[in-house]
Amino acid sequence: MCIRDRKKAFDLAQSGKVDSDGRVSVFGQCFRQLSALEVQRLRSKAKAFSVIFRGESGEDAGGVYREAMEHMCKELQSGSLPLFVRCPNSVQGVGVNRDKWLPNPSADNEIQLSMFEFLGQLLGIALRTKNLLSLDWPPLVWKALVATPVGMSDLRGVDLCVAQALDTLYDLEGHGVTREVFTDYFDETFVTRNSAGDTVELCGGGAARAVTYENHVEFADAMERYRLQEATQQIAAIRRGMATVVPCGLLSLFTHRELEMHIAGCPVMDLSLLRSCTTYSSGASEDDPHVQGMWEALENFSEEQRCMFLRFVWGYLLYTSDAADEEDSVDLGGRGLIKKKKKRRKGA
């Protein structure tokens, strides 16, 4: 049982303060309360724990648990916790993945790394229970979790400006930069800024080492390597947490896209899939005017509105793309309007 005080978390969010040591936010409260729990109890195929919101009525038959998980994901991807930062493309308003979040490479003290381990346990729970988490992470993060090699395309996907600067450094001649004019274009030392905006030396004494025409490729290689691996500590902590719930060796069986789908689901609602997974109860049928009206309204909804509809009837914003083949995936019966078809078992 996990008892959480959402008022404390709400007051924190309103104040603009950061729950740096995980004590006030819903995520932090859960982290503190469940840290002493035997990890075997987190390996259930059903929900891993029950949730009570202090001062709020409601029996946790699954909906309260899902709402708590949704709340934690929202906190992780906000200023309430120090664990994630907006990707540089979002901050600079350029490129793709402007809605994505990256592990904060500067969140590296003992408590914060323990919080990343707890997050890893939540990812493991999501894999076991198929209760999805609304996590907006770019491919760079999912690839790191399954140990898939990353490269310039991944860096471009989170920090276009740095990638373009590296493109120039790797091809000075193509950009018209000669030895004679190099210092007119580059007045740098062996330092860079990470995704949190903090300055980091790329080598010992890097702040005092100038970038020259002779060493510019070494500088570019060091920057590319660091920026692609800046969150190594945080990713390792997440993987340690996952390993307590699911065998981490199994992660190598997933592609990064498959892991994302199993943990975070599909961000786009496929209405044809939803219709194929739907049956009608209480005397309703697909030909009823109010049912036809519902489907027509969904056709005209934006993606955000469709996600809100999914959350209203199911408690989640996302769903797996193989929902039609899963007996316990998208269940829309909670509101009494439509229910998911059950996959017929062999021999039944």
Per-position DSSP letters for 188-252, written without gaps between them = -BSEEE-TTS-EEESSTTGGGPBP-TTTHHHHHHHHHHHHHHTTHHHHHHHHHHHHTTS-GGGGG
Closest by CA to 122, choosing from 63, 37, 56, 52, is 37
pTM: 0.81
* Rounded to 5°, angle at Cα 64 from 62 and 66: 70
CA–CA gap between residue 188 and residue 178 (Å, rounded): 16
Pair type for strands 191-193 and 199-201 = antiparallel
CA–CA gap between residue 98 and residue 115 (Å, rounded): 25
pLDDT in tens, 106-120: 999 999 999 999 999
User: In this structure, what token pair is assigned to residue 91?
Assistant: 């901050």
Give the pLDDT score at 344: 41
Q: What is the mean pLDDT of residues 159-182?
A: 96
14: burial class by Cβ within 10 Å (0-12, 13-18, 19+)?
A: exposed
Q: What is the mean pLDDT of residues 39-65?
A: 76
Mind giving me the DSSP string for 30-65?
HHHHHTTS-GGGGG-SS-SS-EEETT-----SSHHH
What does the mean pLDDT of the chain come to? Answer: 86
Q: What is the mean pLDDT of residues 292-320?
A: 74
CA–CA gap between residue 240 and residue 260 (Å, rounded): 18
pLDDT at 199 over 80: yes
pLDDT at 286 over 80: yes
Q: What is the mean pLDDT of residues 335-345?
A: 40
Pair type for strands 101-103 and 84-86 = antiparallel
Q: Evaluate the CA torsion angle 313, 317, 322, 326 in order and state its sign.
A: negative
Residues near 341 by beta carbon (within 8 Å), at least 6 away in sequence? 277, 278, 279
CA–CA gap between residue 299 and residue 288 (Å, rounded): 17
CA–CA gap between residue 132 and residue 174 (Å, rounded): 47
Report the 10 Å Cβ neighbour count for 201. Answer: 16
Give the pLDDT score at 190: 98
* Residue 163 identity (one-letter amino acid): A
Place of tokens 């890097």: 206
Kindly give the residue spans of alpha helices, DSSP state H, lying in 85-192. Answer: 88-92, 110-129, 139-145, 152-156, 160-170, 182-185
pLDDT at 129 over 70: yes
Give the residues across from 2 on adjacent strands: 51
The SS3 assignment for 125 reads helix
Per the CB < 8 A criterion, the answer to whether 278 and 339 are in contact is: yes
Per the CB < 8 A criterion, the answer to whether 23 and 4 are in contact is: no
